[in-house]
Amino acid sequence: MPLRFNRTATIFALFLSSTLIPAAAQMSAKGKTSGKDFDNAAAEQAKRYLEEGRETFRFDTFGSEDFWGGKLKLHEAVAGEKLGGKGPGLSPEKALELGLKVDVNAIPTDVAEALNKGEVDLADPASTLVLLRANAVVGVTGFFAEDGKTLTSVGIQCAVCHSTVDDAYAPGIGHRLDGWPNRDLNIGAIVALAPDLTAFTEMLQISEAEVKKAVEAWGPGKFDAELNLDGKAFRPDGKTAATLNPPAFGLAGVNNHTWTGAWGTVSYWNAYVGNLEMHGKGVLTIRALMTPRSIRSQHERSRATSRTSRTGLQPSCQRSISISSRCRHRNRRRAPSTARPRKKVRHFSTIRPNAALATSRRSSRNRAGTCIRPTR
């Protein structure tokens, strides 16, 4: 026993000398770290996070182009028949009427000069494509073919609803104002322009005419973020169920997001919108649609991940352990005598309108546009 202890102590001492001595030498070479160094590091990190967040907010489509372009074919309505699309096309004049905004700082120099001289035809959809190629349309990204001329798809960002401009150049054209709600944006009218509304007719189980009636009733600055869940487009009084587009700033510390009916934290609401409204490619779990067993499973996975984080493993290892824990849970089987049918967990990709999800949603909506859900 003493021999084994001495051998262990020797190995441990060698380990400390090989790790701590070089670290101490490095610290002595650099000198002492002052409080100012920590402040500078924190400020630099905050600046980096702000820049990364702004980049995501302004330009990340989250793969939504597969829905708005791939399914709705909205890009064809933007380009118009003359440019390989369908219909008359979307001119800059019409785009501004629908509430879309233009970032004056993103307009190419030659286009800006021509615009100042009145040489740009704002009634021509080709001018809209020029702005899309320059990423000058706030919250909208155009995807072009290799020739750089043919518009093949469009995607949206957070900024399309939660940014506006200061109208420095003209109404709808100016410098970006991130986080400000775009109360001019007529989302429903833009959706109604899409040549193919099959995604909505299948989702809501209604005709194309009824889809257009529902979305066109929203009007500027409003959006119904729960239509795809309960299929209710109008309140009992016959008015649209859409709510006012909220700002994206000033919500820090607001842990119960009451704007749309106390659905959870702001970060949860962001995930909800990114997956179900922007139609980005992600994963969202809605606890209101989960069975007690699936909630328990999710809790066990969270505990497994928490345990691995305490072991000091790398994130990749943590993910692997969490996944294996999930697989073990799914592979469990009850004894035949106590077996009972398993309920399916409904994920966002298979959600269909269900009136039982929010029985009194529309009738309980107050004048401020919030929604108070019944306690389950």
pTM exceeds 0.85: no
The arithmetic mean of pLDDT across residues 94-107, rounded, is 97
Instruction: Confirm whether 173 is domain-assigned.
Output: yes
Q: DSSP assignment, residue 234?
A: B
In a domain, 96, yes or no: yes
Please indicate, yes or no, if residue 214 is contained in any of the structural domains. yes
Residue 354 belongs to some domain of the structure:
no
Spatial separation of the C-alpha atoms in residues 126 and 105, rounded to whole Å: 20
Average pLDDT over residues 128-155: 95
Indicate whether 30 belongs to any domain.
no
* Bigger pLDDT: 20 vs 164: 164
Q: Is 62 left (phi over 0), alpha (psi -120 to 50) or beta?
A: left
Higher pLDDT, 209 or 16: 209
Q: Count the domains in the chain.
A: 1
Q: Give residue-wise pLDDT tens across range 326-359.
A: 333 333 333 344 444 444 433 333 333 333 333 3
* pLDDT in the model for residue 269: 78
Does the residue 126 lie in any domain?
Answer: yes
Q: What spatial distance separates the first Cα and last Cα of the chain, rounded to whole Å?
A: 62
DSSP 301-347: HHHHHHHHHHTT--HHHHHHHHHHHHHHHHT----GGG--PPPPPPP
Residue 366 binned pLDDT confidence (cut-offs 50, 70, 90): very low
pLDDT tens digits along 53-64: 999 999 999 999
**Three-class DSSP category at 178:** strand
Q: Supply the range of the domain harboring residue 87.
A: 59-220
Q: Which segment of 17-31, 173-187, 261-275, 303-317 scores lowest on mean pLDDT? A: 303-317
The answer as to whether 104 is a domain residue is yes
The predicted pLDDT at position 13 comes to 58
Binned at pLDDT 50, 70 and 90, residue 376 comes out as: very low
User: Residue 165 domain-assigned?
Assistant: yes
Is the predicted pLDDT of residue 229 greater than 60, yes or no? yes
Three-class DSSP category at 144: strand
By the 8 A CB rule, do 158 and 57 touch?
A: yes
